[in-house]
Structure 1
């Protein structure tokens, strides 16, 4: 199967992972790959898509529940097509400074669906975020926006080249 219609599914609580997913989809589209970003919770079936990218925010060293559930629910269909995973979460510059390995649950998901790659991007936690833990982090002045959109766009552009090459091959 040659990839040409790509889903970027995401699990997010406060919207910052959704913004990353939308950036990935927009970048893919700008490079000639038809892509759409959708909440993982809203996708009943991945069979209309030729490739899938799944992203989730990290909370207490766990991938967002919607991303985890999506991968579990779609495991067989995902394993039959190219899949890439991303996480967003570190509330510091560590993701920009070095490759951060996937948390254990994401590592399992990678194995289950034969994912081609995983990358971790910096996260974002700003005033107004939902959840007790988020409020505690913000109260301790540990929040902020650590997303690196040029790095996200570069990663997505690389995926577009890979997808385009697979299509041509």
Structure 2
């Protein structure tokens, strides 16, 4: 094992991308090689020893790029260590308790034997794309609820697992 990890993500407004980049940064600091890439741009996972896939949550569903990615690369993902994350709650709930995966992600976990899933808080700020995003912002329900300390701690556990539990 070379310690090469892919962090693939589906995002609309960049919040999930920033989480993926933070995860990749921690993996690199722990001595691994990590690429954080938009899921829609990844053509294969064979050069990676392990994969982390994340998606923003929209109306109780994982981002379409994350869903498409796990569908297209399912066979290869099932052959290597896999972790999943979601981002989405626009409130502090993700920092206060474990939020289980939405049903579609739960099915992916079972089908691909993912090691773990975690839900992180989301971020929706002025300038976000989409009609629903605009509605949420107009109702003053947006904000940044990402907890980068929790994200980095989780990424550290992933790094330890990739290295074989050292």
Scaled by the length of structure 2, the TM-score of the pair is 0.98
- Aligned partner of 1:155 in structure 2 is 154
Residue deviations 1:55-88 (CA, integer Å, cap 9, x gap) = 0000000000000000000000000000000000
Structure 2: gaps (5+ residues): none
- Aligned partner of 2:133 in structure 1 is 134
1:159–1:3 CA distance, 2 compared to 1 (3 A): farther
- Aligned partner of 2:75 in structure 1 is 76
Q: Post-superposition shift, 1:161?
A: 1.1
- Aligned partner of 1:104 in structure 2 is 103
Does the 8 A contact of 1:3 with 1:51 survive in 2?
no
Within 2, Cα distance between the matches of 1:67 and 1:22? 15
Runs (4 or more) in structure 1 with deviation over 3 Å come to none
1:18–1:79 CA distance, 2 compared to 1 (3 A): same
| 1:10-89 map, 5 Å | 10-89=9-88
- Aligned partner of 1:145 in structure 2 is 144
Within 2, Cα distance between the matches of 1:65 and 1:141? 26
Does the 8 A contact of 1:3 with 1:164 survive in 2?
no
Q: Post-superposition shift, 1:3?
A: 5.9
- Does the residue aligned with 2:114 lie in a helix, a strand or coil? coil
Within 2, Cα distance between the matches of 1:128 and 1:136? 12
Does the 8 A contact of 1:7 with 1:49 survive in 2?
yes
Within 1, Cα distance between the matches of 2:60 and 2:67? 13
Q: How many residues align?
A: 166
- Does the residue aligned with 2:98 lie in a helix, a strand or coil? coil
Does the 8 A contact of 1:57 with 1:88 survive in 2?
yes
Does the 8 A contact of 1:62 with 1:105 survive in 2?
yes
- Does the residue aligned with 2:5 lie in a helix, a strand or coil? strand
Structure 1: gaps (5+ residues): none
